[in-house]
Amino acid sequence: MIPLSDFVLLIRSAVPRFQRNPPNAQQESCILHSSDVPLMIVAGPGSGKTTVLVMRALRLVFVEGWMPEQIVITTFTRKAADELRARLIEWGLRIKDHLRENPPLPTTAGFGSWIDSIDINRFVTGTLDSICEELLTTHRDPTDPAPVLVEGFVGNGILVRHALFPNQVHNNPALDAYLAGFSFSGTAPANFGEKIGICRTFLDRFVHDLIDLNNYQGTGNHREARQCLAECSASYRQFMAAGYRMDFALLEETFLQRLQQRRLQRFTNNIRALLVDEYQDTNPLQEQIYFTILQQTNASLTIVGDDDQSLYRFRGATVELFRDFQQRLIQHVPNRPQLHLEYLIDNYRSTPPIVAFFNSFIQNDDSFQSARVQPPKPQIVAQRQGNGVPVLGMFRRNINDLARDLTNFLWDVFRGPGRVINTGREPVTLIRDQNGGDFGDAVLLSHTVNEFAAQFGEQSPRERLPRLLRTSLAQLQPSIDVFNPRGRLIRDIPVVQQLLGSILNCIDGNGALQGTILLRSEPQRYLNIWRQEANRFAATNPPPSNPHTLMDFVHAWQNRTPQVINMQWPSEWPLLELCFKLISWIPMLRDDPEGQVYLEAVSRAIAQAATFSPYRSNIIRGHNQHEDNSVKAAIRDILAPIAEATVDVDEAIMPNIPRSRFPIMTIHQAKGLEFPIVIVDVASDYTRNHPKNRFRRFPDGPSSVQNMEDDLAPFCQIGPLRQTRTGLQRSFDDLIRLYYVAYSRPESVLMLVGVDPCLRYQTTIRHVATGWKSDGAWSWKTPVAGRAPALVNNHPLLLI
């Protein structure tokens, strides 16, 4: 071990990064803080929280002498967990190598052996879900099977067939009336898919919020509906338990139960430190897991987070747990030293104008300040040098003009001579980095990245800004591609339709078996659309056409006739193998980054269905009714869920996006990321004060998320803490946090974009992202006597 006083000098000597940029005073204080005293770090954007977390974990190894396997570090996303582990290994190995070559003097006996005994790979790191799954697998009793973790769409399929239908949810008017309070429109769910989504959210909330279901179903209004949902929960749990299946909520619940039953003592007996990242997005169940570990282990505790960057309330995250953590720790884990609070406020990411902008934004609404960590948080301090670029704004008369001018801006910066910005002082030219700068250095962030607005009736859906940008960038010479795999549902992507329709045509050529399956009208319609698209595609005779065409292949499959002479058709044919054979004719799914994301979603749906579907995603041949039933199972359990839009893409599978592509992301996706240029779409959709879009900009009532929290509040311990602010206040709070995250992503340039009506002096289109306060005041507007100006007169943007 080395003295604590030598650790910062050690990392500055061993890790090249810290030779250039050593830890600042705040970071050093967090790294060196006593392991005996719980530590809460409130880490502002760009302040190096991951660095601090990693260095604190390494300090526990090299100063305290604890082994990496005794230290548990959790974070929120797989990507963040991968980054954290990569830094632990890189920096930990550098420290080990440095200490081998430069042992402290005087060197104690056994120092070299101790260094060699440290296995940096053995830190227990990951998302809480991944750690729970691993520990329930490796630390189970001999009679306990390993948990089978199911994807969301698989869980929904089980929910429908084994809980909702048996409990008559599909035709229960009392339940419809109850669910109306939690739907998008405030009316009864418009279709069965929406009903599934709301019921699923309730079942997850029952687990995440530790709901007392006996009181829930026996108290208050809508008693029949509450009893129905409680019965659905019981039916769903019973079926899942029978096969030891778990969704993410049940996985965490099972882990907590095993902890409380002291059945995980092989794990807990070894823990000496618990470090939790992104604590602001913790839910009550997860908090109880952490508190139970602390109660049983007396482990050193460090939590890191920022309440201003909490984004996941819709998943059950409860930012109030972080805001009030000091009191909650005393309540649940008494007899510990008093929690120590540290702030990380030095921002190394953004230029001073950007930091000043998001500092001003987060403090704009006085009503929001009491929702933040108390006492009042210090402002973020910019540490980067300025580049002379103020925060920019591009607002145009209509969305088409906006898409055109934004395309020209991007072209000028990344392919042209640059874009000159007249700041009123020295003109500044925005131009790509000459050492490989490209479109991937910019990003468009938005509340939603859907490329089309909702469709009404038979009218074609309106193209939104992401779609218009995709089209206009593709028309450039040379063309520029975007990366926006979430822009459309995978069921609507032409190449995916070609693949899925070809699968359908192969396994059920004339659709006879499909017609015998009880499906709702929407999935039936999409299955037929896919078949038609596949037929049109096959008629074009896509390459390769030698030795067999796509049409030949499909006909061979329909007849179950091998195309190779003297071969027998196999008795079982995995659907996944058929899928990968068909992409020979659809190279976009193999070669294009967006296509690879779509293919992964389809193949994941096939693989996941194998965990619960009776024929395990295989097509049977020559076994009488089993052949037909295997086809029906494939349609019902794999293709129908995609047609119902319950299978999501996972763009995180792409470790790197080609830098020549322009990425478009939701603000939630961008959490934890940074880009040289960030373009935030604050107002491209809003040409009038339409009530249907107020929830995205200036709520006039609580959202469905807040309504559900309030409905469940009497039946869970966390309810009163959430209700210290009204549902409407919490709706505003969440919007403010969302755009704070967006505004704090850029390194060099922040630009807000939208249409002119949102900036008019007399506008009625209120939006928290453009400086409106929840009391209806507009900080970007100063009253004037006489004739009003055309545009708002106090905005902090340089309009270009």
User: Which CATH superfamily hosts domain 4-140+253-348?
Assistant: P-loop containing nucleotide triphosphate hydrolases (3.40.50.300)
- For the cut 70, the answer to whether the pLDDT of residue 284 exceeds it is yes
Mean per-residue pLDDT for 133-144?
Answer: 90
Q: Which 3 state secondary structure label does DSSP give 148?
A: strand
Strands of 372-521, DSSP E: 381-382, 392-396, 419-421, 428-430, 442-446, 482-483
Q: Containing H/E element for 124?
A: strand 124-127
Structure tokens at 734: 């969440």
Question: What are the Cα distances from residue 483, in Å, to 488, 495, 660, 748?
Answer: 12, 16, 10, 22
For tokens 């500092």, the residue is: 359
Three-class secondary structure of residue 189 per DSSP: coil
CATH of 392-452+463-486+659-799, one of 3.20.20, 2.30.30, 2.60.40, 3.40.50: 3.40.50
d(CA 39, CA 341): 6
- What is the residue type of 666? T
Q: Which residues of 34-71 are buried (b: 16+ CB within 10 A; e: fewer)?
A: ebeebbbbbbbbbbbbbbbbbbbbbbbbbbeebebebb
Q: Per the annotation, where are the binding residues? A: 43-50
User: Quick one: pLDDT at residue 300?
Assistant: 98
Q: Are 473 and 480 in contact (CB under 8 A)?
A: yes
Phi-psi region of 186 (alpha: psi -120 to 50; beta: other; left: phi over 0): left
Residue 124 bridge partners (DSSP): 72
pLDDT of residue 519: 87
The overall average pLDDT reported for the chain is 95
Q: Give the integer Cα–Cα distance in Å for 17 and 91.
A: 10
Tokens 């190449």 map to which residue?
495
Q: Which of 55-64, 136-145, 575-584 has the lowest mean pLDDT?
A: 136-145
The string of pLDDT tens digits covering residues 472-517 is 999 999 999 999 999 999 999 999 999 999 999 999 999 999 999 9
pLDDT digits (tens, 9 = 90+) for 373-426: 988 899 999 999 999 999 999 999 999 999 999 999 999 999 999 999 999 889
**Count of C-beta atoms within a 10 Å radius of residue 114:** 14
Under 8 Å between Cβ of 598 and 583:
no
Alpha-carbon distance 735 to 57, whole Å? 34
- The Cα–Cα gap between 379 and 382 comes to 10
Interval 66-124: pLDDT, tens: 999 999 999 988 889 999 999 999 999 999 999 999 998 888 888 999 999 999 999 99
- The angle at the Cα of 212, spanning 148 to 178, to the nearest 5 degrees, equals 90
Q: What is the C-alpha separation between 567 and 564, in angstroms, rounded?
A: 6
Residue 133 is predicted with a pLDDT of 95
Q: Are the CB atoms for 254 and 136 separated by under 8 Å?
A: yes
Task: Show me where the domains of the chain are located.
Answer: 4-140+253-348, 148-243, 392-452+463-486+659-799, 490-541+551-650
Q: Which two tokens stand for residue 430?
A: 């925005």
CA 391/CA 380 separation, integer angstroms: 17
Using the predicted structure, report yes or no on whether residue 457 has a pLDDT greater than 70: no
DSSP 314-330: GGT--HHHHHTHHHHHH
Minimum mean pLDDT range among 30-34, 452-456, 515-519, 574-578: 452-456
First to last CA, the chain: 58
| pLDDT at 179 > cutoff 80 | yes
d(CA 727, CA 749): 35
Question: What pLDDT is attached to residue 157?
Answer: 86
Distance, CA of 661 to CA of 779 (rounded, Å): 37
Picking from 139-153, 198-212, 524-538, which range would have the lowest pLDDT averaged per residue? 139-153
Q: Is the pLDDT of residue 239 over 90?
A: yes
> What pLDDT was estimated at residue 612?
82
In the predicted structure, residue 611 carries a pLDDT above the cut 90: no
Q: Which of 140-154, 227-241, 553-567 has the highest mean pLDDT?
A: 227-241
Least confident stretch, 136-145, 391-400, 591-600, 634-643:
136-145
Residue 662 has pLDDT above 80, yes or no: yes
Q: To the nearest 10°, report the CA torsion of 507, 511, 517, 520.
A: 120
Amino acid at site 783: P
The mean pLDDT of 696-704, rounded to a whole number, is: 95
Give dist(CA 353, CA 421) in Å, integer: 15
Is the Cβ–Cβ distance between 162 and 239 less than 8 Å? yes
| Residue 630's pLDDT band (cuts 50, 70, 90) | very high
pLDDT tens digit string along 556-605? 999 999 988 878 899 999 999 999 999 999 999 999 999 999 999 999 99
Binding residues for ATP, by number, are: 43-50
Span 247-270, mean pLDDT? Answer: 96
**CA 95 – CA 80 distance, rounded (Å):** 22
What's the 3-state SS for 688-754?
CCCHHHHHHCCCCCCCHHHHHHHHHHHHCCCHHHHCCCCHHHHHHHHHHHHHHHHHCCEEEEEEEEE
Q: Give the pLDDT of residue 626.
A: 92
- In the chain, the percentage of residues whose pLDDT exceeds 90 is 86
- The yes-or-no answer to whether 4-140+253-348 and 392-452+463-486+659-799 have a common fold is yes
Residue in 151, 164, 152, 195 with CA at minimum distance from that of residue 177: 195
CA–CA separation, 755 and 401 (whole Å): 9
Query: pLDDT tens across 288-341, in order?
Result: 999 999 999 999 999 999 999 999 999 999 999 999 999 999 999 998 999 999
